[in-house]
């Protein structure tokens, strides 16, 4: 019989840890939170110190029974939930349910799921940190007050099903403000002039200035330069060479991992965190069994342990040579307000090379693990050494310049280059040029250009902005983006985030009536106050009380002052078959549907279907996407019931090269692939570079 019970959050983690601990330990999973505020009511006693009312979560009865049963058999109980604010709160809830003394040494934590870290954590068992628990309670209560008090106003005044949130509302405003900047932007004309010069190979020289004119704002400016340099030689007046060092980027924080996975892998923040969680909790890698491949994934620290650094430096020396080991180990300084409780995200064992593990990982797991591994390894390597060259040319008084850069020693770039760097300077090697050398241009290219508006946010740039402005914390970025997309406030257009009309309407309403909730500075200040709760400097009820007084007055005023907003329904290209009007798209409790705009005179409605670019193999009609009563997608012919064609797999354009039948998309272990709809045929076409 097990002497000790260890409670973790996920079954995958339980499986990995149980392998390390042996038969004297029983490891069970709480599967996340076991208690929370009720969904059916506010669940916060505003009149009595904002006391939260916790209830057991629906559907967790079996989990709780298992935990209680195992707890009765155990001599000692250890709470090993995640090493963060949320994990501490889950441990406290478990202690409450199991009637454990929270001041006893029942709490253990580890930054990585390896045998050494897990076994070592028992020696550092400690009481539950109530400051961390209070910080989580403060955030939960604050978010509940904002959401449950404002959302009903949005339902009444705008549309059912909407929500407001302390972080999501600010994120939506940031995206809306950027879109407004783009709409208000007035392009300005400017010109560039580039000359192609010829030595042993062609190279370019760009206009810098003529007299005091450094910017070419119109064609007349460009013509003046062209007139000045026409038929004139380009004489090299100054040649500067130098060396520049480039330092590696630090190992990943939660934020930088989400940004880089968006840039390089085209992963959403939500997908990145889901896959990172799998890598952290443990992956079966063959003879070693389940192993946690990366350290804890919710962190804003760039610090790594001395042991991890020493192992990385030894590995670099062995695999790449001593020249790639820096003279002094690299040290990175994090942001001023970064929480330094956990290390940066890194591989748990530098010898777990991604290529060697590829067969044990899914395609997405491999991509993300390789990204984390390479970034960590590069962060511990020596600098990249570059030779820079800048040549100035005098052309009848006009100044042109050529710049070149070449790598003298690759350093960390032998392993990894940060995404934004790849979009920056490119290596251009100039021919040997001496002062006094003269060149005749083979071509001169004047080009009219216009200034561009600021770019829309991508998930990467939004996460970066939220972090820089102090809005939310590492664990909130992914769910925040998912929420504002799911609510219809923001659309994903390829990789960019674009606000919808609904997003603009709700943001405008919030700015007019709840200005603090969507104020960036106010939200960042609130984050700092919540951090002070975590540090034990301020009681959590005091933070909530100071917020709630002014907020309650805004609520009272908003209920009386906000007029009902009428959002125009999007017009479809489908005519009403009863009165001829173009039908509009409405949203009901079962999703979107088509309705006649002449309601109530005409009450005609139709299901809204998505037409695929594929014809029905039975009758040649259009294939459309449909849903079952339980919401599962399937595909059928638009001529139903005359044609009874249906398919659970999504039809795709083209026909099977083997038998000529319809092709469909199916999902495999490594992602989607295309196959013949006739399974007896056996034709399969794997996706290339993540596309299909």
CB-based contacts of 553: which residues, under 8 Å, 6+ apart? none
What DSSP line would sit under 14-81, residue for residue? HHHHHHHH-TTEEEEE--S-SEE--SSS--EETTTTTEE--EEPTT-HHHHHHHHHHHHH-SEEEE--
Residue 404 β-bridge partners: 389
Report strand pairing: 4-8 vs 25-29.
parallel
Residue 650, SS3 per DSSP: strand
Is 296 part of the annotated catalytic residue set? yes
Angle, CA 524 vertex, CA 520 and CA 525 arms, to 5°: 115
Closest-CA residue to 649 (of 661, 671, 668, 667): 667
Q: Around Cβ 240, how many Cβ atoms within 10 Å?
A: 10
Closest-CA residue to 272 (of 371, 349, 168): 371
As a whole number of angstroms, the distance between CA 412 and CA 112 comes to 25
As a whole number of angstroms, the distance between CA 466 and CA 479 comes to 13
As a whole number of angstroms, the distance between CA 268 and CA 479 comes to 11
As a whole number of angstroms, the distance between CA 617 and CA 639 comes to 12
CB 57 within 8 Å of CB 34: yes
Closest-CA residue to 502 (of 571, 569, 598): 569
Angle, CA 341 vertex, CA 29 and CA 268 arms, to 5°: 65
641 prior amide bond cis, ω within 30: yes
Distances (CA, A) of 545 to 23, 45, 51: 49, 12, 11
Closest-CA residue to 52 (of 130, 115, 188, 144): 144
As a whole number of angstroms, the distance between CA 583 and CA 607 comes to 11
Pair of tokens at residue 538: 């301020």
Closest-CA residue to 280 (of 668, 8, 671, 669): 8
CB 454 within 8 Å of CB 182: yes
As a whole number of angstroms, the distance between CA 416 and CA 458 comes to 22
Q: Which of 54, 296, 416, 635 is catalytic?
A: 296
580: left (phi over 0), alpha (psi -120 to 50) or beta: left
CB 75 within 8 Å of CB 4: yes
What dihedral do alpha carbons 614, 620, 621, 622 form, nearest 10°? Answer: 0
As a whole number of angstroms, the distance between CA 143 and CA 127 comes to 27
Distances (CA, A) of 635 to 439, 575, 617, 630: 66, 23, 12, 15
Distances (CA, A) of 287 to 117, 283, 291: 20, 12, 10
Residue 294 β-bridge partners: 347
Pair of tokens at residue 684: 């399969």
Place of tokens 């307000």: 337
600 prior amide bond cis, ω within 30: yes
CB 447 within 8 Å of CB 191: yes
Give the residue numbers annotated as catalytic, written as ranges: 296
């Amino acid at each position: 019989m097990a002497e000790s019970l260890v409670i973790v959050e996920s079954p995958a983690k339980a499986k990995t840890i149980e392998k390390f601990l042996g038969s004297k330990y029983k490891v069970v999973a709480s599967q996340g939170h076991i208690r929370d505020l009720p969904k059916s009511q506010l669940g916060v006693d505003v009149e009595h110190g904002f006391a939260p009312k916790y209830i057991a979560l629906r559907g967790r009865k079996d989990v709780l029974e298992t935990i209680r049963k195992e707890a009765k058999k155990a001599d000692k109980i250890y709470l090993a939930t995640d090493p963060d604010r949320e994990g501490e709160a889950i441990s406290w809830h478990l202690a409450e349910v199991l009637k454990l003394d929270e001041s006893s040494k029942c709490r253990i934590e580890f930054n990585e799921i390896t045998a050494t870290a897990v076994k070592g954590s028992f020696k550092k068992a400690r009481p539950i940190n109530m400051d961390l628990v209070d910080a989580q309670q403060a955030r939960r209560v604050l978010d509940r007050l904002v959401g449950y008090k404002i959302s009903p106003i949005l339902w009444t005044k705008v549309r059912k099903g909407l929500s407001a949130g302390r972080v999501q509302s600010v994120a939506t405003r940031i995206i809306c403000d950027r879109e407004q900047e783009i709409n208000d932007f007035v392009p300005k004309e400017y010109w560039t002039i580039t000359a192609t010069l010829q030595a042993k190979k062609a190279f370019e020289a760009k206009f810098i200035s003529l007299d005091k004119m450094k910017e070419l704002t119109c064609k007349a400016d460009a013509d003046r330069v062209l007139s000045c340099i026409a038929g004139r030689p380009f004489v090299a007046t100054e040649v500067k060479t130098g060396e520049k060092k480039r330092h590696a980027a630090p190992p990943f924080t939660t934020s930088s991992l989400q940004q880089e996975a968006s840039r390089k892998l085209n992963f959403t923040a939500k997908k990145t965190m889901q896959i990172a969680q799998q890598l952290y909790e443990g992956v079966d890698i063959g003879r070693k069994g389940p192993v946690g491949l990366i350290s804890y994934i919710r962190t804003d620290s760039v610090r790594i342990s001395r042991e991890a650094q020493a192992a990385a430096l030894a590995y670099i020396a062995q695999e790449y040579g001593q020249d790639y080991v820096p003279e002094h180990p690299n040290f990175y300084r994090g942001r001023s307000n970064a929480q330094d409780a956990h290390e940066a995200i890194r591989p748990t064992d530098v010898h777990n090379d991604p290529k060697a593990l590829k067969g044990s990982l899914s395609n997405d797991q491999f991509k993300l693990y390789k990204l984390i591994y390479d970034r960590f390894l590069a962060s511990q390597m020596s600098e990249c050494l570059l030779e820079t060259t800048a040549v100035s040319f005098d052309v009848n008084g006009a100044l042109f310049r050529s710049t070149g850069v070449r790598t003298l020693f690759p350093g960390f770039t032998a392993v990894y280059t940060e995404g934004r760097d790849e979009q920056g300077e490119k290596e251009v090697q100039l021919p040997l040029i001496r002062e006094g050398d003269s060149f005749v241009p083979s071509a001169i290219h004047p080009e009219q250009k216009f200034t561009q508006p600021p770019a829309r946010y991508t998930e990467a740039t939004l996460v970066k902005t939220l972090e820089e402005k102090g809005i939310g914390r590492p664990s909130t970025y992914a769910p925040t983006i998912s929420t504002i997309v799911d609510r219809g406030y923001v659309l994903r257009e390829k990789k960019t985030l674009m606000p919808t009309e609904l997003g603009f309407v709700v943001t405008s309403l919030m700015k007019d009536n709840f200005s603090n909730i969507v104020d960036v500075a106010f939200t960042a200040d609130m984050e700092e106050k919540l951090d002070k709760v975590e540090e034990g400097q301020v009681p959590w009820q005091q933070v909530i009380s100071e917020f709630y007084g002014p907020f309650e007055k805004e609520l009272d005023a908003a209920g009386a002052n906000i007029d009902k907003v009428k959002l125009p329904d999007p017009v479809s290209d489908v005519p009403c078959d009863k009165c001829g009007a173009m039908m509009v798209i409405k949203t009901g409790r079962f999703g979107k549907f088509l309705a006649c705009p002449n309601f109530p005179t005409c009450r005609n409605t139709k299901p809204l279907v998505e037409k695929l670019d594929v014809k029905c193999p039975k009758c040649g009609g259009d294939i459309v996407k449909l849903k079952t009563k339980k919401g599962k997608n399937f595909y059928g012919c638009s001529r139903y019931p005359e044609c009874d064609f249906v398919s659970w797999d999504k039809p795709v354009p083209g026909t099977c090269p083997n038998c000529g039948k319809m092709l469909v998309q199916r999902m495999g272990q490594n992602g989607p692939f295309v196959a013949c709809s006739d399974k007896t045929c056996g034709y399969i076409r794997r996706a290339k570079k993540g596309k299909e």
